[in-house]
Amino acid sequence: MRVIVGHYVGGTSGANLSEDVIHKNNYAPVLGAGEGGRPVVLSPRELITAKELYSLHSYNILVSDKISITRSLPDVRNPSCQSIEYDLENLPTASVIIVFHNEAWSTLMRTVMSVLIRSPSLLKQVILVDDASDRKYLGKDLDDAVKKLDKVLILRSPERRGLVGARLMGAASATGDVLVFLDAHCEVTKGWLEPLLDRAGSDDVFICPHIDLLSEDTLSYTKSIDAHWGAFSWRLHFRWLMPSNEVMKNKSENPSKPYPTPAMAGGLFAVRKSLFWRLGGYDEGMLIWGAENLELSWRAWQCGARVEITPCSRVGHIFRRRSPYRYPGGVTHVLSSNLARAATVWMDEWADFYFKFNPSVAAIRDSQNVGDRVDLRRNLKCKSFKWYLDNVWPQHFFPTNERWFGRIRNDRGACLGVVAATPGLGGPAAGIDCGTDMDIDRLLVFTPEGKLMADEGLCLEQGNGRAVWKGCSDNGKQIWEQKGPRLKTKEGLCLTLMKNNNKESVGDPMTAKMCTNNVGQIWHFERCLGA
Ligand code: LR7
Ligand code: MN
């Protein structure tokens, strides 16, 4: 049975959507919906349809279609940003580049309109790059819509190039002084462009806006955490982390000042066009999606530029839980080749560490031709990855020559590690299965200053009662001293794997207690060789 909900032809399952639904332009705003960045609430019946259509875009298309493409948004900037007056006469001009593949009509148009209505005259052009979309509404309908908009032009790639290829295509046609990249499901807020242009003018920086959250379910605009750093895990997955203490201190003293970040998320940034090309644009060998953000961040820092976030430019982005489009060649192949390229060219000896623990990526490393990018690195006289870690991200948790790296096994059998289900989130420390081999999830870094670090920036901390994994900080409770087979806190207590009637000892809690003969206090340090 086909269910008609509003102007939607529903009743199709997400995996098997009819051409009818996919190709229809359903944009039909409801007065007031989503204004001020408020959430849109659907009726129970609409929710069913929204669920069915969810897989098309991995966000709620019904909600998006109800919201005006020129909706109002809150001004979430810090007051000290709101009072800055920019000398518009002396700022560079901008080409905004938005690449898309099968984006929803209303979301794409809202991205474009938000730029048009909230940018000063320094906005020279908005370049849309269609990366081989196959939805009918993105054809002539979009051409017609774009023709009516001043400054907006559209480029089409007949073949799927991936976001790197599409952005390069846009950048090649840009006439502005500064390139500003945005994803196709963003909404910019008041005063977003001026701080980007103000900083990008200096010709040595890739400057990112502060990225806020557009809910994929309701499209509400929510402020994201005030200070964040872009960085990555041992598997080279992009992560948001707490900035260093120094950055936090500077931020509180000067909340409108751009601050450095080890990496960018990738989709939203501005850079002087000359700098973008001088540093080698993008690696054209990168496919579809992924890793280009780390490659660009490392290249920027290692080759004499910087990556920064300006808190005064606020842009909302729809974060999606899963990717809605197809990856020609297979998602694993696409991601692995991009990661292999980035690691091979930029990470020096840390590439060996990465490949050792990611054999599927290592397997295709030799098939990647990165000669041009290695030449680029040499010609630009770029610095080492060690320099990057030491200078840009000294708080990193990667192993180094000075840091012990390996597995720490309790005499009762279990290993010290982060429970697999909660990486990144931290949580109580417990014994984990040591496995049969040196597995990256069981490996820890033990720093000369006494921090026990796991992947994802987690440090072992003696909490109230139990030992816990927490984001690494200056907290003295994260300092451990190795005394023979024991690990001691500053107060001289011993890290203890407690007995919990559990024969295997896996899952048993840990705490720091008075040192005794307890076998739960005896640890074996098994160094991981060759990493
Ligand atoms: O084949 C493709 N062709 C495209 O044109 C695949 C994608 N695209 C377009 C797509 O329509 C979108 O406009 O490229 C843009 C980015 O793709 P998304 O939205 O699927 O990416 P994402 O937001 O999930 O992922 C982040 O990391 C990516 C790594 O390749 C890119 O750098 C994205 O731009 C980046 N997005 C952001 O940084 C926004 C903040 C999110 C975070 C964290
Ligand atoms: Mn995105």
Residue 529 has pLDDT above 90, yes or no: no
Strand boundaries in 92-228, DSSP class E: 94-100, 123-131, 152-157, 178-182, 186-188, 205-214, 221-222
Tens of pLDDT along 497-512?
988 766 667 778 899 9
Please tell me the distance from the alpha carbon of residue 504 to that of residue 527, in angstroms, as a whole number. 23
Please tell me the distance from the alpha carbon of residue 360 to that of residue 235, in angstroms, as a whole number. 12
Q: Ligand 1: does its nearest atom lie under 6 Å from the Cβ of 100?
A: yes
Segment 482-510 mean pLDDT:
87
Name the residue type at position 385.
Answer: F
Is 395 within 8 Å of 246 (Cβ atoms)? no
Q: How far is the CA of 318 from the centre of ligand 2 (A)?
A: 6
Tens of pLDDT along 2-41?
222 333 333 334 445 677 778 877 888 999 999 999 999 9
Please tell me the distance from the alpha carbon of residue 180 to that of residue 125, in angstroms, as a whole number. 10
Segment 480-506 mean pLDDT:
88
The pLDDT value recorded for residue 422 is 59
The pLDDT value recorded for residue 5 is 31
Q: How far is the CA of 27 from the centre of ligand 1 (A)?
A: 23
Ligand 1 atom showing the smallest separation from residue 129 Cα: 5
Is 212 within 8 Å of 188 (Cβ atoms)? no
End-to-end CA gap in the chain:
59
Report every protein residue that has its C-beta within 5 angstroms of ion ligand 2.
183
DSSP conformation class of 530: T
Angle at 192 between CA 190 and CA 196, to 5 degrees: 160
- 481-483 and 486-488 strand pairing: antiparallel
Rounded to the nearest 10 degrees, the angle between the axes of helix 371-379 and helix 331-346 is 30
Q: Ligand 1: does its nearest atom lie under 6 Å from the Cβ of 286?
A: no
> Which CA distances in Å does 248 have to 177, 253, 254, 463?
32, 9, 10, 23
Please tell me the distance from the alpha carbon of residue 111 to that of residue 337, in angstroms, as a whole number. 30
Cβ atoms within 10 Å, residue 476: 12
441 — pLDDT class (breaks 50, 70, 90): confident
Q: How far is the CA of 265 from the centre of ligand 2 (A)?
A: 10
Q: Ligand 1: does its nearest atom lie under 6 Å from the Cβ of 170?
A: no
The domain 404-527 is placed in CATH, from the list 2.30.42.10, 2.80.10.50, 2.40.10.10, 2.40.110.10, at 2.80.10.50
Tens of pLDDT along 320-356?
999 999 999 999 999 999 999 999 999 999 999 999 9
Q: Ligand 1: does its nearest atom lie under 6 Å from the Cβ of 290?
A: yes
424 — pLDDT class (breaks 50, 70, 90): low
Tens of pLDDT along 67-115?
999 999 999 999 999 999 999 999 999 999 999 999 999 999 999 999 9
Name the residue type at position 133.
Answer: S
Here the contacts of 361-366 (C-beta below 8 Å, separation 24 or greater) are 361/336, 363/336, 364/333, 364/336, 364/337, 364/340, 365/340
DSSP symbols for 461-472: EE-SSSEEEEE-
Q: Which 3 state secondary structure label does DSSP give 204?
A: coil
Which of 14-23, 132-141, 294-303, 463-472 is predicted with the least confidence, judged by mean pLDDT?
14-23
Residue 311 has pLDDT above 90, yes or no: yes
Tens of pLDDT along 453-469?
999 999 999 988 899 99
The pLDDT value recorded for residue 2 is 29
Chain CA centroid to CA 41, Å: 28
Q: Which 3 state secondary structure label does DSSP give 230?
A: strand
**Span 93-318 CATH architecture:** Alpha-Beta Complex (3.90)
Write the residue with the smallest CA distance to atom 7 of ligand 1. 163
Ligand 1 atom showing the smallest separation from residue 186 Cα: 39
The pLDDT value recorded for residue 22 is 80
Q: Ligand 1: does its nearest atom lie under 6 Å from the Cβ of 289?
A: yes
- 94-100 and 123-131 strand pairing: parallel
Chain CA centroid to CA 215, Å: 16
Segment 169-190 mean pLDDT:
98
Angle at 239 between CA 384 and CA 395, to 5 degrees: 50
457: left (phi over 0), alpha (psi -120 to 50) or beta: left
**Percent of the residues in the chain that have a pLDDT greater than 90, as a whole number:** 83
Average pLDDT value over all residues in the chain: 92
The pLDDT value recorded for residue 7 is 37
Chain CA centroid to CA 263, Å: 9
The pLDDT value recorded for residue 502 is 63
Please tell me the distance from the alpha carbon of residue 161 to that of residue 118, in angstroms, as a whole number. 30
Q: Ligand 1: does its nearest atom lie under 6 Å from the Cβ of 71?
A: no
The pLDDT value recorded for residue 3 is 27
The pLDDT value recorded for residue 427 is 84
Residue 437 has pLDDT above 90, yes or no: no
CA within 13 Å, CB half, 323: 12
Domain boundaries, the chain: 4-66, 93-318, 404-527
The pLDDT value recorded for residue 426 is 78
Q: Which ligand is nearest to the CA of 164?
A: 1
Q: Which 3 state secondary structure label does DSSP give 202?
A: coil
As given in the structure block, the two tokens for residue 492 are 């001289």
